[in-house]
Structure 1
Amino acid sequence: MAISSHDGVVLGIYILVFLTGLPANLLAFYTFQAKLRQTPTPIDILLFNLTVSDVILLLFLPFKMVEAASGMTWPLPEFLCPLTGFCYYSSIYISTLFLTAISVERYLGVAYPIKYKLNRRPIYAVIASGCFWVLACSHCSIVYIVEYQVQGPNDTHIEDTISKCYENFSQKQLSILLPVRLELCVTLFCLPFLVCLFCYVNLVRILASLPNIQARRKQRAVGLAVATLLNFAICFAPYNISHIVGFIQNKSPPWRVYALLLSTLNASLDPAIFYFSSTAIQQTLGDLFAGINRKLQAFMPWCYPLCVPCCEPEGDNGTEKSSISNMGGLPSERFERGR
């Protein structure tokens, strides 16, 4: 079956996200679960949950690939349609919540370093993580409600919904779905984004006012804040804007599928945030590249002089394996190492 150019674009992006995102997220998953077994910190718990959310999306992404390869029809067993949609959409909003929680954790660690250190407990992050999962999953259960409860046996859209997964809706379905989407936009995107924006703007302002922090480290912290906000705005904003447009027009906008593609890209972009946020990830990557370096030295000695500058840590004594991992400008990071 030949697929259209539109379906080819969708399939190509799904494949790109799967091939780039799955290895990076599995590496992050392995690193964070090992870290949680040793000395768990709130930021590690939040990053671990964000990783789990991305892995769930990526594991269900092959079903979306099959759908795109079949001309956006659903050739798989019918029960997989709402299950895939539920996991897919839940992962999107779980990511926004955990990105916001991470921004709050960073802000508190810089704005109130001593007070935050004294009151910081991993159990608080565990409780917050559980609330985030319940909040996002309960909202996205609308997928099952629309598929099975609203649609009646005589609904004229039954044949369409069998061939199209969560795409063609009757007016009765839209009367419930569109207001819920608007509420999702306000509750799980707009409010978290405003909190995230407040935290990072003030984080940058505080760091800029501290004279004892190196300019390079300030720039790295600013870059990390900008990268997170761009990830938030580029990956999630278009999809949530489609909720507002759909509510106004009383129908799903035709460009919604492309907005969803941007949300899918988040699974490939989050590992960059993991790297800048966690010294454990930096250590794991450093060990990985060091292992590759040793293998190259053993099997390809002629390549070793070319590979050393790229793979070796910056410092000889191990005190600065990465300019990022020594980001002492963040008080919370200093406390982390001090423990």
Structure 2
Amino acid sequence: MASNGNNEHHRFLGYLSVVIFTLTFVLGLPSNLLVVATFFKKARNKGATPNVVYVINSCLANLFFILWLPVKVTETLNNWMLPPVLCPVYNFFQFGTIYASILFLTAISVGRYLSIAFPITYKLYKNAKNSCLVCAFLWTLVTLHVALVLIIEGNGGQLFVSSSLNNISTCYENFTEAQLNFLVPLRLEMSVAMFFLPLLITTFCYFSCMALVVRSCLQERRKRRVIVVALSTLLIFVVCFGPYNVSHVVGYIQHENIWWRRVALLTSNCNVFLEPMVIIFLSSPPMHSLNLCWQTVKRKLSNLKCNASACRRRQG
């Protein structure tokens, strides 16, 4: 009976995972491509501001994650069927992009705070070169952390692919006691350094922004937009990335790879499509650019329709 219950639970979790992966792919791919294209156009026409650079890098991290989703769906429906050497590569992109998104969201919040609290001083350092240097530092930080974890976890020589009790090959699921002795403290360090600390910084920046904006002379409409953007970003930050990183803390306390970590990881996937949607619907400059893009598409479709009608009349 217990075995049947576990099988039913595993099957339900598998179906839920496939639904979320599919939703992430269907919504995340076009929305992230749209934001990247819009902000690239904005950078080309008006110059690359720090916010533009950070948003592009964040969406690129989401796209790297999306490219590996078909692999995750295949593993969830069946088991790990690819060459074992691809397992650490897949996990590098999966977990690396999660923490990259966290750090770029933090960089965006810091930039917004500095532009409001110290507009004159910040303007002296507000250029694309410095923003690209910050992005390079953040990518390097994520790469070193994730690569270190993967190297240590691979000390068993199995390249992360192992068999479960049901004789099913899994990737990044089962660990030896020796691997856990290194893995659990490293996961805790990653969650503290690349989630809880960025969360504190992001919370401080956005609440400070809201306090400064409320006391300013801005129009009420613009005040509301700043507050909505700040609260929406914080909500995504906590809801999407919180459960997964809390699992690292619990795993450290219990000294194990806790079972619900896989469930918590699903919420991180939702950031892939929620973040660009917040950017699209709550940021007025991108909305203006998106409206221009949509009008251009409508004109081209209208021209194609007119040309097709003209061709049919000539043929008739």
For normalisation by structure 2, the TM-score amounts to 0.86
Corresponding residue for residue 163 of structure 1: 169
Choose which of 271, 274, 282 in structure 1 pairs with 2:276. 271
1:218 partnered with 2:226: no
Distance 2:81 2:149 in 1: 19
Q: Which amino acid aligns with 2:198?
A: P
Structure whose residues are more often helix by fraction = 2
Instruction: Give structure 2 stretches of 5+ with no counterpart.
Output: 1-7, 306-316
Measure the CA separation in 2 of the matches of 1:31 and 1:102: 17
What is the aligned partner in structure 2 of residue 11 from structure 1?
Answer: 18
Deviates more, 1:162-171 or 1:291-300: 291-300
Secondary structure at 1:24 match in 2? helix
The answer to whether residue 43 in structure 2 is matched with residue 36 in structure 1 is yes
Question: C-alpha root-mean-square deviation of aligned residues, in Å?
Answer: 2.6
User: Aligned-pair distance for 1:272?
Assistant: 2.3
Please say if 1:179 is aligned against 2:185. Answer: yes
CA gap of 1:289–1:121, structure 2 versus 1, over 3 A, is closer
Q: How does 1:272-287 map to 2 (within 5 A)?
A: 272-275=277-280, 281-287=286-292
Does the Cα contact within 8 Å between 2:162 and 2:174 map onto a contact in 1? no
Q: Does 1:104 align with 2:110?
A: yes
Q: In 1, Cα distance between the equivalents of 2:183 and 2:60?
A: 27
Unaligned runs of 5+ in 1: 301-339
- Residue type of the partner of 1:223? V
Partner secondary structure for residue 4 of structure 1 = helix
Q: In the aligned structure 1, how far is the partner of 2:225 from the partner of 2:19?
A: 32
Sort the Cα spacing of 1:205 and 1:141 in 2 relative to 1 into closer, same or farther, 3 A: same
Q: 1:144 offset after TM fit, Å?
A: 2.9
* Deviation, structure 1 residue 159: 4.2
Percent identity for Structure 1 against Structure 2: 39
2:74 to 38, 41, 66: 66
Q: Match for residue 5 of structure 2? A: none
Residue of 249, 252, 259 corresponding to 1:247? 252
Q: Which amino acid aligns with 1:51?
A: C
Aligned partners of 1:295, 1:257: CA distance in 2, in Å? 45
Which residue, 84, 93, 98 being the options, matches 1:92?
98
**Structure 2 partner of 1:189:** 195
Pick from 23, 34, 52 the counterpart of residue 27 of structure 1.
Answer: 34
Give 1:293 shift: 5.0
Q: Give how far 1:158 is off.
A: 4.8
Q: CA shift at 1:281, angstroms?
A: 2.7
The CA distance in 1 between the partners of 2:23 and 2:142, in whole Å, is 26
Alignment of 1:232-243 (within 5 A): 232-243=237-248
CA distance in 2, matches of 1:14, 1:260: 11
SS at match of 2:48: coil
Tell me the distance in 2 between the aligned counterparts of 1:159 and 1:64.
Answer: 17
